[in-house]
């Protein structure tokens, strides 16, 4: 869905960082990194069996070293050099082929692979040991992470489209959630709304409900029916053209407790404080502190561990709004603000989240403006 030049631009951006860091090749094993550079989009990553490798030279197009099952789809991407094996192969699941490719591309030059926060090794550790015996592979100095953090206009458009889908689904939530509806049914119907509104798929939905908010923000649904006075929170990540939205909405089943209403007001105040700090030159920590002052009076944190994060090819990626993240904000970064507050003296918590892109002068909203008061669901 993106033109080839989009990927050529991304590749050139990563390669210029590679040259600055003296890398002859990068080895990539993860969906988001491989997709970033090639557009290779498949839900088949859900199957853990086969490893997939992309080798990026310091110049020229990347080389795919992949199971033959993916050759036809990879052939539609900008990648021209596609090397395959019949996977799974219990004796040599692409290891020799990727070693040979890395030797050919890098010679005796430096080979890097993502090894810092958020990166995983999407291949068996035993195969990694074989690779490491044959070749020295070091960390990539967070090149991929840094490159992916600044979005292209096409990426921002894709995230905006995903946010619009989720926004329309949240608008319609009162159609499917009211007193008596089991939370599991709310979750199921909400995913249907996301699809009806144009999501390609719905990789993420979490939430909770209770009179004092909820116990956490990562739980799946149980079958408890919504009750009068409950605060319902739904937090979704929908995919549109390979890019995520990630924001939530809180609803009240009839009239909420005063504590919950106050908590919602505090959350919106924290959002405004975060927005005021959201501009190029400020750091992620600045934004954290601006929100944390409102949420906790400056206590410095809470159980979620952060008050927002980067967003794009993954539900969460790049910077974190924590006291320890000194990333300087730049135009093109797409982020979520996600403050949380405790309700009724810690009986529960409430969290609000919205999505933004940093601009030259501040920010632009990607998710719709949140309701000024808790939206009421029917009794």
Under rule CB under 8 A, which residues in 3-32 are in contact with its own copies? 32
Binding of residue 217 to its own copies (CB under 8 A): yes
* Closer residue to its own copies (CB): 47 or 361: 47
Residue 299 binding its own copies, by CB under 8 A = no
* Candidates 102-110, 155-163, 172-180, 300-308; binding stretch for its own copies (CB under 8 A): 300-308
Q: How far apart are CA 337 and CA 278, in angstroms?
A: 10
Which residues between 220 and 239 bind its own copies (CB under 8 A)? Answer: 220-221, 237
* Nearest to 314, CA basis, from 149, 70, 169, 113: 149
| Count of residues that bind its own copies according to CB under 8 A | 80
Taking the C-alpha atoms of residue 201 and residue 194, their distance in angstroms, rounded to an integer, is 8
- CA atoms of 52 and 29, how far apart (whole Å): 6
Q: What angle do CA 263, 265, 267 make, to 5 degrees?
A: 70
Distance in angstroms between the alpha carbons of the first and the last residue of the chain: 43
> Which stretch in 5-13, 84-92, 274-282, 371-379 sits in contact with its own copies by CB under 8 A?
84-92
- Residue 77 contacts its own copies per CB under 8 A: no
Q: Measured at the alpha carbon of residue 58, what is the angle toward residues 57 and 63, in degrees to the nearest 5?
A: 15
Could you give the CA distance from residue 162 to residue 166 in angstroms, rounded to a whole number?
A: 6
Provide the pairing of β-strand 23-28 with 110-113: parallel
Tell me the chain's radius of gyration from C-alpha atoms.
22
**Can residue 99 be called a binding residue for its own copies (CB under 8 A)?**
no
Query: Which position among 106, 111, 158, 199 is part of the footprint of its own copies (CB under 8 A)?
Result: 199
* CB closer to its own copies, 16 vs 222: 222
133 binds its own copies (CB under 8 A): no
- 298 contacts its own copies (rule: CB under 8 A): no
φ, ψ of residue 159 in degrees (nearest 5): -70, -40
* Residue of 57, 67, 256, 370 that binds its own copies (CB under 8 A): 67
Pick from 47, 107, 108, 281: which binds its own copies (CB under 8 A)?
Answer: 47
| Interaction mask 141-180, its own copies, x per CB under 8 A | ----------------------------------------
The stretch among 101-109, 174-182, 322-330, 365-373 that binds its own copies (CB under 8 A) is 322-330
30 vs 42: CA distance, rounded Å: 12
Residue 119 structure tokens: 């990166």
DSSP 4: H
Give the residue with the Cβ less far from its own copies, 122 or 376: 122
Q: Is 328 a residue that touches its own copies (CB under 8 A)? A: no
> What secondary structure letter does DSSP report for 130?
H
- Is 361 a residue that touches its own copies (CB under 8 A)? no
């Amino acid at each position: 869905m993106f033109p080839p030049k989009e990927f050529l631009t991304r590749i050139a951006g990563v390669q210029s960082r590679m040259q600055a860091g003296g890398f002859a090749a990068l080895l990539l094993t993860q969906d988001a990194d491989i997709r970033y550079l090639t557009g290779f989009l498949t839900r088949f990553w859900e199957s853990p069996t086969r490893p997939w490798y992309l080798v990026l030279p310091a110049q020229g197009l990347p080389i795919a070293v992949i199971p033959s099952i993916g050759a036809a789809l990879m052939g539609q991407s900008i990648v021209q050099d596609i090397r395959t094996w019949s996977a799974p192969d219990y004796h040599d699941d692409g290891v020799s082929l990727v070693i040979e490719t890395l030797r050919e591309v890098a010679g005796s030059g430096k080979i890097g692979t993502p090894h810092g926060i958020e990166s995983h090794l999407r291949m068996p550790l035993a195969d990694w040991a074989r690779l490491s015996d044959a070749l020295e592979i070091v960390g990539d100095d967070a090149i991929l992470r840094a490159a992916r953090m600044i979005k292209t206009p096409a990426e921002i458009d894709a995230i905006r489209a995903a946010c619009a889908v989720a926004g329309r689904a949240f608008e319609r939530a009162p159609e499917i959630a009211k007193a008596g509806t089991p939370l599991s049914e709310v979750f199921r119907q909400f995913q249907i709304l996301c699809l009806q509104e144009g999501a390609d798929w719905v990789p993420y939905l979490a939430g909770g409900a209770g009179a004092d908010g909820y116990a956490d923000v990562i739980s799946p649904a149980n079958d408890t029916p919504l009750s009068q006075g409950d605060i319902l929170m739904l937090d979704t990540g929908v995919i549109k053209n390979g890019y995520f939205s990630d924001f939530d909405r809180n609803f009240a089943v009839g009239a909420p407790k005063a504590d919950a209403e106050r908590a919602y007001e505090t959350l919106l105040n924290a959002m405004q404080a975060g927005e005021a700090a959201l501009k190029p030159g400020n750091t992620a920590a600045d934004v954290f502190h601006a929100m944390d002052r409102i949420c906790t009076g400056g206590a410095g944190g809470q159980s979620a561990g952060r008050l927002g994060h980067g967003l794009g090819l993954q539900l969460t990626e790049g910077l974190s709004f924590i006291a320890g993240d000194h990333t300087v904000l730049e135009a093109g970064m797409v982020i979520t603000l996600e403050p949380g507050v405790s309700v009724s003296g810690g009986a529960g918590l409430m969290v609000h989240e919205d999505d933004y892109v940093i601009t030259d002068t501040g920010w632009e909203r990607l998710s719709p403006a949140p309701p000024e008061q808790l939206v009421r669901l029917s009794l």
